[in-house]
Structure 1
Amino acid sequence: MLKNNQLLIHINNISQKVFLKFCCVFLLIFMFSCKQDTTKNATNTEKTTTEIEINPTETSSVKTIVFFGDSLTAGYGLEDVNDAFPGIIQQKIDSLELGYTIVNSGVSGETTSGGKNRIDWVLNQKPTIFILELGANDGLRGVPLKQSKENLQAIIDAVKKKYPDTIIVLAGMQIPPNMGQEYTSEFKNMFPDLAKKNDLPLIPFLLENVGGISDLNQRDGIHPTKEGHQILAKNVWAVLKPILK
């Protein structure tokens, strides 16, 4: 009986040794496989990183035109913002394959003060050309012209400081004589004065051939219709086209 027990113990010892050897071999195979998978993943990661690095280089050549303005730029009252004059300009640019992308940064009700406050955020667009269309709401509200002029100058300075090579185009504006003839005249002259001081291309009057014409304006008599925006686009294009070429 004792001999049988000793035999069983001996067999169990052999079995344990065989099992341990099997576990060691399995562990080595598993570790080798994991190493191969890690190498493959590292290779795939390198390829993905290379592809991601290439893409920004391709998109960095995109040239941007930022239209920075109020409800006129935003296309207030239109069913489709692309029917506003910045969108029409984009269509012209695309048809001529000039390679510019337009950013419509118009905000209805915007004043020169509001524009001054948000200019830093808008400049994240890195504009190649910056079209400044603000001041009409200041004039309609009777904001002191000294303040409006200082705000416009501050916006111009901010663009020049961050992007010295950006071309700034100033859109001129006129208002009805509700605030008196002196105010109205000074308001009109504010834009050419700023353009001359800063050596900027000037759109003499954005609403030329549209302002005051009922058929080309919405019921409020202030904001152009879809047809009116076609004319605004022509007024802008006359100044912008030579710059693009």
Structure 2
Amino acid sequence: MTTSQKLAGKIALITGGSTGIGLATAQRFVAEGAFVFITGRRQAELDAAVQQLGGAAAGLQGDVSNLADLDRIVAAIKEQKGRLDVLVANAAIAEFLPVEAITEDHYDRQFDVNVKGIVFTVQKALPLLPDGSTIVLLSSVSGVKGSAYSSIYSATKAAIRSLARNWAVDLKARHIRVNAVSPGPIETPGLNALISSPEELAQFKTQMTSVMPLGRMGEADEVAKAILFLASDDSSFVTGAELFVDGGIAQV
């Protein structure tokens, strides 16, 4: 991985950083000179990710939908490093049901992690973010596209896009840039776990790629490179934006 140290000396927090897009982003950030805190709910996965990342990373176990966990995570970062320069709010879950089958639990779980988790991750981290720092929120093409059984998940992702717009205004006096990244179908452990049948998973991927201009699934590192762009000074005049990394699926 060729690097130019775009994040040299920076301190970053990536929620949901133990697998998939979060881990790929942590790898990019470490390679570019940052010290990275990652969070995850499962200690074993978190430990494995930290070992993979090396000495410029630390893992903080916790659930972003639990405000006490967030308080503990932010307190640990303050004690260990004293500040944050980059915040990537990536932790999310996805569940799919048709409208007639939606339950209160289905609704609450996704909004608690995907929206409440992002709101309070950002709010609680703000005292550690100096003026001129950057925040990247992970949304999805689902926030702008309709698809079967995904109404609640898609609604959470549309909410994240709205948060990026509004916080870009709220934080403009502090010159804190807030942007959203919206991936399309990406090869990650999380996506592969959504469908238990190998045949149905292959069918899903075939269907997805058939309507994508680039004709293939994306890789986690391709999203990580977009997040790096928004986290670094390369995007110094970009705020309130949504950057699609989707193979064109939501663009044409």
Q: TM-score, normalised by structure 2?
A: 0.49
Q: Who is 1:59 aligned against?
A: none
Distance 2:64 2:94 in 1: 7
* Counterpart AA for 1:64: K
Pairing partner for 1:131 from 69, 83, 88: 88
Aligned pairs, how many? 160
Question: Do the aligned partners of 1:63 and 1:127 also contact (CA within 8 Å) in 2?
Answer: no
1:239 aligns with 2:249: no
1:169 aligns with 2:123: no
CA shift at 1:117, angstroms?
4.4
Higher relative contact order (CA 8 A, sep 6+): 2
* Counterpart AA for 1:238: F
1:84 aligns with 2:55: no
CA shift at 1:159, angstroms?
1.8
Q: Who is 1:152 aligned against?
A: 118
Kindly provide the CA deviation profile for residues 132-157 of structure 1, in whole angstroms up to 9, marking residues without a partner as x: 212x2275773526544334222212
Counting only pairs closer than 5 Å after superposition, residues 27-38 of structure 1 correspond to structure 2 as none
Distance 2:76 2:140 in 1: 22
Distance 1:155 1:219 in 2: 21
Question: Do the aligned partners of 1:174 and 1:187 also contact (CA within 8 Å) in 2?
Answer: no
Pairing partner for 2:38 from 91, 105, 114: 105
Question: Do the aligned partners of 2:164 and 2:180 also contact (CA within 8 Å) in 1?
Answer: no
CA shift at 1:186, angstroms?
0.9
Question: Do the aligned partners of 1:139 and 1:175 also contact (CA within 8 Å) in 2?
Answer: no
1:142 aligns with 2:106: yes
Distance 2:72 2:141 in 1: 24
Kindly provide the CA deviation profile for residues 14-71 of structure 1, in whole angstroms up to 9, marking residues without a partner as x: xxxxxxxxxxxxxxxxxxxxxxxxxxxxxxxxxxxxxxxxxxxxxxxx732323211x
Question: Do the aligned partners of 2:135 and 2:231 also contact (CA within 8 Å) in 1?
Answer: no
Pairing partner for 1:121 from 69, 75, 78: 75
Q: Secondary structure at the match of 1:127?
A: coil
1:63 aligns with 2:13: no
Distance 2:157 2:38 in 1: 23
Distance 1:69 1:152 in 2: 9
Kindly provide the CA deviation profile for residues 70-120 of structure 1, in whole angstroms up to 9, marking residues without a partner as x: 1xx2136xxxx9x733112332x2xxxxxx423141315564314634332
Question: Do the aligned partners of 1:67 and 1:103 also contact (CA within 8 Å) in 2?
Answer: yes
Cα 1:191/1:181, change in 2 over 3 Å: same
* Counterpart AA for 2:18: A
CA shift at 1:178, angstroms?
9.6
Question: Do the aligned partners of 1:111 and 1:138 also contact (CA within 8 Å) in 2?
Answer: no
Pairing partner for 2:155 from 173, 186, 199: 186
Q: Secondary structure at the match of 1:183?
A: helix
CA shift at 1:174, angstroms?
6.2
CA shift at 1:228, angstroms?
2.7
* Counterpart AA for 2:87: F
Q: Who is 2:179 aligned against?
A: 202
In structure 1, stretches of 5+ residues that fail to align are: 1-61, 94-99, 211-215
Q: Calculate the aligned-residue CA RMSD, in Å.
A: 3.9
* Counterpart AA for 1:74: S
CA shift at 1:130, angstroms?
1.7
Q: Secondary structure at the match of 1:201?
A: strand
* Counterpart AA for 1:116: L
Q: Where is the helix percentage greater, Structure 1 or Structure 2?
A: 1
